[in-house]
Amino acid sequence: MFTDRKGSAAGAPSRAELLEVQRRPLTPAETGRIMAEIRRSGAITGYSAAEWRGKRDTFVLVGRDDDELVAAVLVHHLWGGWSEIAVVFVMEAHRGKGHAKTVIQSTMRTLRSDGRRKVIFFCDDKMKYLSQTSGFAVFDSADDYLNASPRDRFFFKISYKVQWLANVYRLKELRRKRRELGSTYEFKLGVRRP
């Protein structure tokens, strides 16, 4: 749970004070809503209902009183000691209020003692800023980072690709978004070590 330092007038709780981060799968209704919004995003490839419903590690920012979904983070725990922050998504009605920063930083605090390296891929400048403020070293491409160890090169060039491409829904969405939305997916990446 978190609170907003600013508070609000007359001692009433601010909207931020009425939100909490939970580590849990999305409900069927939440899954439908977030997948519908992500389908319209040209910057996110797409993640299946099974991934949101428990196949992956999921963190949600919700209203304390009404459980309204505000934002979600989807984490893939991958082979080779890496975890990918695969999606940081704020529902359209709640954007521009700092919720992405809140949910990703809460996620990173929860995961910091797991001993795994973290990676995040992104296409836009907002995510670059968010990644940097969340402790990631940012690179313009995987190749810029891959001047690193042979082990890391193997992970990104082979192991990661095999794991990421193993999802039929994601491959269909990737093709659809390239065709319908003109998505180019020129990914930058952020790396954070334990």
Per-run averaged pLDDT (10 residues), the chain, 194 residues: 42 66 97 96 92 96 94 95 96 95 96 94 91 94 76 85 88 94 90 88
Q: Tell whether 107 is covered by a domain.
A: yes
Under DSSP, is residue 24 helix (H, G, I), strand (E, B) or coil?
Answer: coil
pLDDT the model gives residue 166: 85
User: Are residues 193 and 117 in contact, defined by beta-carbon separation less than 8 angstroms?
Assistant: yes
DSSP element (H, E) containing 172: helix 168-180
pLDDT the model gives residue 157: 84
Q: Tell whether 2 is covered by a domain.
A: no
pLDDT the model gives residue 148: 64
Q: Tell whether 42 is covered by a domain.
A: yes
User: Are residues 159 and 79 in contact, defined by beta-carbon separation less than 8 angstroms?
Assistant: yes
Q: Tell whether 4 is covered by a domain.
A: no
- Nearest-angstrom CA–CA distance, 32 and 49: 8
pLDDT the model gives residue 15: 55
Q: Tell whether 102 is covered by a domain.
A: yes
Q: Tell whether 163 is covered by a domain.
A: yes
pLDDT the model gives residue 144: 80
Q: Tell whether 186 is covered by a domain.
A: yes
pLDDT the model gives residue 154: 85
Reading the block at residue 83, the tokens are 């975890």
pLDDT the model gives residue 4: 39
Q: Tell whether 3 is covered by a domain.
A: no
Among 63, 61, 60, 55, smallest CA distance to 18 is for 63
The domain in which residue 109 lies consists of 9-192
pLDDT the model gives residue 185: 86
CATH number at 19 reads 3.40.630.30
- Nearest-angstrom CA–CA distance, 58 and 45: 17
Compute the radius of gyration of the chain from its Cα atoms: 17
- Nearest-angstrom CA–CA distance, 111 and 69: 21
pLDDT the model gives residue 147: 66
**What is the number of structural domains in the chain?**
1
